[in-house]
Amino acid sequence: MKKLTILLLSLLCAGVVYSQSKPNWFDFADRERNYPNTTFITGFISGNIRVGETNTDAETRLRKEAQAELTEKIRVQVNSEKQKRDTRTKTQTTGQAENEQIHSVFEATITTSSNLELTNVKTDSYTDNNTGLIYGFACVNKYELADYYNASLTMNIQRLESILHTAKQLETNSEKTKARTQYEEAARLLVKIEQEQDVLVALDKNVSFQRDKTAPYRNEIVQALARLAQGVYIYVENDEDLFGQKVDIVANKVKAELAIKGCSFVNTPEQSDFNLRIRVTTRKADSNDELMFCYADASIELYDNHKQKVMYSDEIAQKGGSNSQDKAVRKAMNDVAAKILEKLKPWIE
């Protein structure tokens, strides 16, 4: 025992350092043998300790960088599949308007680069005491990853079908705003589903059937959103007082003109794109021997149900004159309606 201790001390003094054994991924040949690309996706990187960094910190960083390299390999393949799918979708689409609808609803929703989820990724690191270099390694089993995405895909398709069922019921019940919200949620979920399909195709080229599996859902959502976008649905809340008499002079004129411009009117606020509140009171003004004058004082508020905020509000006082008080006040109210229509034009058309 004493002789062994002396031997070790002499070796240390001579500058001989024994490093830990190298892992089975260190050499290229080892990686090809132990982590074949038919089964695994790997990431491998090396680097030095940075200024102010401990060895533990450096190993952690290199493991993360190796995982990032692995993720990038998958992302490149996924983006390639996405490009093929998008090109095919646009080729099959008829009409510029539908192309624009697909772009606005789907393409800007979720990007692959920020939403690629990887599970069961294993990482490791190794410090070569002879060179001072640190190595990072990451690997994931393709079949385990495919199992995860298959399970997620099945669950998300079931969820998508449920959302579409709810959306169709809401549309049937003329609850347009709620229906559109559901279809938009379906669009966002479909982008995630299509990404999962692209990952599966990238992992195994033989699952090409996945590419067109959800095409009917995409078409259904696009057509529904295009259908719901036609025209504007408005709920009018009206309170008009003509010297103590409840009337709808202003509201009827406003609705008639907006209907010509393609707007539709619903019975409840929940069914509408906009809620329009109109309040009108009347008062007498100065008169002479030939004419009588009256004022119509109106307040309006336009509320956007999608943005959940008031888009426009104003107060308008309009004077009208005629040979009778009734004609004078009605003229004032009709003129108020014309002014309201002019004010609403930038928001509703």
Phi then psi for 88, rounded to 5 degrees?
A: -65, -40
What are residue 18's DSSP bridge partners? none
Q: Which residue type does 28 have?
A: F
12 found inside a domain: no
Name every residue whose Cβ is closer than 8 Å to that of residue 131 and which is 6 or more positions away in sequence: none
Q: Full-prediction pTM beyond 0.85?
A: no
Same domain, 102 and 184: no
Helix (H, G, I), strand (E, B) or coil at 215: helix
Contact 170, 266 (CB under 8 A): no
CATH number, domain containing residue 66: 3.10.129
Residue-wise pLDDT tens digits, 6-44: 444 443 333 333 336 899 999 999 999 999 999 999 999
Same domain, 202 and 107: no
Give me the pLDDT at residue 15, please: 36
Please, what are the averages of pLDDT over each run of 10 residues along the chain (349 residues)? Answer: 46 39 93 94 94 94 94 83 67 50 51 63 94 94 90 92 95 78 89 84 67 79 81 89 94 90 82 90 87 94 88 93 92 94 81
Same domain, 157 and 126: no
Same domain, 265 and 344: yes
Look up the domain containing 120 and give its range.
19-143
Burial class (CB in 10 A: 0-12, 13-18, 19+), 159: middle
Same domain, 165 and 101: no
Q: Which of 109, 44, 46, 48 is nearest to 73 (CA)?
A: 44
Pairwise CA distance, residues 195 & 104, whole Å? 17
